[in-house]
Amino acid sequence: KAGVTQTPRYLIKTRGQQVTLSCSPISGHRSVSWYQQTPGQGLQFLFEYFSETQRNKGNFPGRFSGRQFSNSRSEMNVSTLELGDSALYLCASSLVPAANEKLFFGSGTQLSVL
Amino acid sequence: KNQVEQSPQSLIILEGKNCTLQCNYTVSPFSNLRWYKQDTGRGPVSLTIMTFSENTKSNGRYTATLDADTKQSSLHITASQLSDSASYICVVSEGYSSASKIIFGSGTRLSIRP
């Protein structure tokens, strides 16, 4: 069974640009959540999707958005990039969006904003 | 405020030695506590998941303990190997609702020296 796939693996952008990251969950998993990881802040929750609906959103500005498609694949978009957006962006999938569900993480997309 | 604190921040030990990592939390209501291993530039991988009623859980050379009364957990690594070099993250779930209610510790960076 294939794991969680995130693309691209690495990305370099400049300030002001926008970026779209993709996440394909494990087959059969319908919940996808996104996280930002930086050396200073650690892992922080961005948002969670289930059945194409955003269920929860973390404390990030509106420049961060996402969506989920009918096949459970998810994308997140960051507009007007800032230097502080440089981070490892991780997505995780689970069968359903429950706190006691096991999360399976992808390898992440390393975003560098210059 | 719900928090998860880990200690030490970093640790260096010799190959073959044992070590113990600590996690203290102030999350309520408590759902479960997980330990993840994260290699540099990769996504976290689940090691153990413990609910309120579980005191100990093992996964090979990894043994996690949980004291729900004192809100403390530890991860003990036996006979360390070079491949154990990674960050270990303690994650506590609040309630039973969704992935948005998980609180991440800042991690312990473990380095194994030959």
Mean pLDDT score of chain B:
92
Q: What pLDDT does B98 receive?
A: 60
Residue B100, classed as helix, strand or coil, is helix
Q: Which tokens hold the place of B68?
A: 């729900």
Q: Which residue of B has its CA nearest to A57?
A: B100
pLDDT of B108 strictly over 90:
yes
pLDDT of B100 strictly over 70:
no
Question: A11 and chain B: CB distance < 8 Å anywhere?
Answer: no
Q: Which residue of B has its CA nearest to A110?
A: B41
Residue A43, classed as helix, strand or coil, is strand
Residue B83, classed as helix, strand or coil, is helix
Those residues whose C-beta lies under 8 Å from the C-beta of residue A34, and which sit 6 or more positions away, are: A23, A45, A46, A47, A48, A66, A74, A76, A89, A90, A91, A92
Q: How far is CA B51 from the centre of its chain?
A: 14
Per-residue pLDDT tens over the stretch B30-51: 889 999 999 988 899 999 999 8
B8: amino acid identity, one letter: P
Per-residue pLDDT tens over the stretch A52-110: 999 888 889 999 999 999 999 999 999 999 999 999 999 999 998 766 778 999 999 99
pLDDT of B99 strictly over 70:
no
Q: Which residues of A touch B4 (CB under 8 A)?
A: none
Q: What pLDDT does A102 receive?
A: 84
Residue contact A45–B43, C-beta within 8 A: no
Q: Which residues of B touch A21 (CB under 8 A)?
A: none
